[in-house]
């Protein structure tokens, strides 16, 4: 069937049929582009979640290290105290003998 026959059978003017055909092709392209964007967006969201989780883990690691820093300082203070007490006991032992 010729386009004019199709247009006449449907009661549509040939120019309307051409305009519909052009718009239909553009709409299909737009629909495909929107679907591609949605897929890209979904992939980006997944990747952002992965990055966020990695950053959280790294932050927890650094926070833990800072907490260990306090414990290290306390341990160093205890080592100094033990060293001073050891020297004091050695001196007392030397004085007693």
pLDDT digits (tens, 9 = 90+) for 16-55: 777 777 777 777 778 888 899 999 999 999 999 999 999 9
Distance CA 40, CA 46 (A): 10
Give the 3-state secondary structure of residue 74. helix
- Which contiguous run of DSSP H or E holds residue 42? helix 14-96
- The domain locations on the chain are 3-96
pLDDT for 80: 96
pTM, two decimals, is: 0.45
| Residue 17 vs residues 4, 11, 25, 28: alpha-carbon distances, Å | 9, 10, 12, 16
In sequence order, the 6+-apart residues with CB closer than 8 A to the CB of 1 are: 9
């Amino acid at each position: 069937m010729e386009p004019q026959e199709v247009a006449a059978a449907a009661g549509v003017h040939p120019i309307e049929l051409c305009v519909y055909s052009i718009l239909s092709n553009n709409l299909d392209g737009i629909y495909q582009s929107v679907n591609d964007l949605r897929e890209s967006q979904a992939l980006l969201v997944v990747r952002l979640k992965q990055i966020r989780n990695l950053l959280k883990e790294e932050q927890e690691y650094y926070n833990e290290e800072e907490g260990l820093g306090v414990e290290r300082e306390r341990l160093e203070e205890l080592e100094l105290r033990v060293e001073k007490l050891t020297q004091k006991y050695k001196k007392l032992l030397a004085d007693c003998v």
